[in-house]
């Protein structure tokens, strides 16, 4: 029995063809690291991220050259049948760029505005309102994205002064956390005053430390009904970035907080940008919030297991499922919810395999060289010899076709398996 997570109730925001909010699945977002002025390179990376599973992609719009290419990037993507919405990331000069390049303003699916750097003093409100007015003109949603590293200095100074006058003042960190929430909410309400509908607003309040992020989003989520974009900013490289992001976001997601997320991993030089998409998907799928591809349960290995056989098979099956799932989804609805077990010995192998849709328990070190295969809780055959990997992959393909392809097809496929000796006659209950 799995415990359901109750999502925090929000308004619904539409970004292109993507809907954000508590009534729709949590959306995976990514961001390019190309020079947006290079339309071909940016379009290629957006397409790659979309094919990996990104449902929105943010691009930097930081210069006249970049803004001039946004409409071209959208056109290139449309020609390739890549419909993923583009989110324009604006800092410092967004008010000028959006006004100077109306084709850019129209081509974007959403604007991301950081209220901490839209201007200083009296110009701050004017320039923020200019951007909101353009969003209203073109009916575009806006993410008001507050960031710990670029918090509005005037707001922070005002709140620090007020705190200093308290009998029991809060710590500076606590004031900064509150300032992030206040900045997001004040600017959202200012946008509504200018004319932006409430269902066109998404909020974020990003920091780079796990406990601070959890505290800020708990606070923010309790004070509004806007959809929230989650992300641990500057999470870091490799396993550190993955662990930090997973730790922070898992707590918030478990509490029903979050409607879209991005995993801000620092890629290695020339590294694969798609990794942040895969990590985001794995977080959501591991928590049972969404299903993107069949999941593989595999044991960690110990002194009882063979040195590499089950590891190699688990790796092969993971790669096979990643490639096949986009094809299968169009043919076999629900296949992304399938569970596959690849276990290394008889201790937990048979039990985990029975609990999976299809599973195999490989022979451990010194054990009888045979590998029982289970389908829907029933042992259907035992594989032996050098062809265990290829035979199990064939069984997996056949199981998918049988389980998700219809009863008559299942009957014919199982007859074929029996005929070829891959499934025992008495075990044909798929």
Q: Residues 201, 207, 208, 211: what is their CA dihedral angle, to the nearest 10 degrees?
A: -110
- Neighbouring C-alpha atoms within 13 Å toward the C-beta of 191: 32
| CA–CA dist 52, 326 (Å, integer) | 10
| CA–CA dist 244, 237 (Å, integer) | 10
Q: Give the global pTM.
A: 0.92
| CA–CA dist 371, 364 (Å, integer) | 9
| CA–CA dist 257, 239 (Å, integer) | 24
| CA–CA dist 275, 258 (Å, integer) | 21
The mean per-residue pLDDT over the stretch 416-427 comes to 65
Q: Is 266 helix (H, G, I), strand (E, B) or coil?
A: strand
Residue 188 host element (H or E): helix 172-194
- Say whether pLDDT at 33 is over 80: yes
Full set of structural domains in the chain with CATH: 13-287 (3.20.20.20), 295-419 (3.30.413.10)
- Binding site for [4Fe-4S] cluster, by residue number, is 299, 302, 345, 352
Percent of the chain exceeding pLDDT 70 equals: 94
Quick: pLDDT tens for 376-389. Answer: 999 988 998 888 99
The mean per-residue pLDDT over the stretch 402-429 comes to 67
- Binding site, by residue number, is 299, 302, 345, 352
- Say whether pLDDT at 288 is over 90: yes
| CA–CA dist 216, 209 (Å, integer) | 11
Quick: pLDDT tens for 93-120. Answer: 999 999 999 999 999 999 999 999 999 8
Quick: pLDDT tens for 175-233. Answer: 999 999 999 999 999 999 999 999 999 999 999 999 999 999 999 999 999 999 999 99
Q: Give pLDDT, residue 386.
A: 84
Closest CA to 342 of 369, 367, 365, 363: 363
Q: Give pLDDT, residue 411.
A: 64
Phi, psi of 336 (to 5 degrees): -65, -15
Closest CA to 320 of 337, 340, 299: 340
């Amino acid at each position: 029995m799995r415990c359901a997570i109750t999502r925090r109730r929000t308004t619904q925001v539409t970004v292109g063809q993507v809907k954000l909010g508590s009534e729709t699945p949590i959306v995976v977002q990514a961001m390019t690291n190309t020079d947006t002025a290079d339309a071909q390179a940016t379009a290629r990376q957006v397409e790659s991220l979309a094919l990996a599973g990104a449902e929105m992609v943010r691009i930097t719009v930081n210069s006249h050259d970049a803004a001039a290419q946004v409409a071209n990037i959208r056109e290139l993507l449309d020609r390739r049948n890549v419909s993923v919405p583009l989110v324009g990331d604006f800092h410092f000069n967004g008010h000028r760029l959006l006004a100077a390049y109306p084709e850019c303003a129209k081509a974007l699916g959403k604007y991301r505005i950081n209220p901490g750097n839209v201007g200083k003093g009296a110009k701050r409100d004017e320039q923020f309102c200019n951007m909101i007015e353009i969003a209203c003109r073109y009916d575009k949603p806006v993410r008001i994205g507050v960031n710990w590293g670029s918090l509005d200095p005037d707001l922070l100074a005002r709140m620090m002064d007020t705190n200093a006058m308290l009998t029991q003042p809060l710590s500076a960190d606590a004031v900064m956390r509150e300032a992030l929430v206040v900045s997001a909410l004040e600017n959202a309400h200012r946008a509504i005053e200018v004319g932006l509908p409430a269902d066109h607003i998404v909020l974020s309040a990003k920091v780079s430390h796990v406990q601070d992020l959890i505290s800020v989003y708990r606070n923010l989520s309790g004070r509004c009904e806007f959809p929230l974009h989650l992300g641990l900013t500057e999470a870091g490289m490799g396993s550190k970035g993955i662990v930090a992001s997973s730790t922070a976001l898992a707590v918030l997601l478990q509490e029903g907080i979050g409607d879209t997320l991005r995993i801000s991993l620092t890629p290695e030089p020339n590294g694969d940008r798609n990794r942040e998409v895969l990590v985001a998907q794995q977080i959501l799928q591991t928590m049972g919030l969404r299903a993107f591809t069949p999941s593989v349960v595999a044991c960690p290995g110990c002194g009882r297991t063979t040195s590499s056989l089950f590891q190699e098979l688990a790796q092969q099956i993971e790669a096979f499922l990643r490639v096949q799932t986009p094809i299968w989804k169009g043919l076999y609805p629900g296949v992304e919810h399938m569970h596959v077990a690849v276990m290394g010995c008889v201790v937990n192998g048979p039990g985990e395999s029975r609990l999976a849709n299809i599973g195999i328990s490989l022979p451990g070190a010194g054990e009888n060289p045979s590998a029982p295969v289970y389908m829907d809780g029933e042992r259907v055959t035992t594989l032996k010899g050098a062809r265990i990997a290829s035979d199990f992959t064939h069984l997996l393909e056949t199981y998918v076709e049988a389980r998700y392809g219809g009863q008559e097809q299942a009957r014919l496929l199982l007859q074929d398996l029996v005929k070829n000796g891959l499934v025992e006659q008495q075990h044909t209950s798929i």
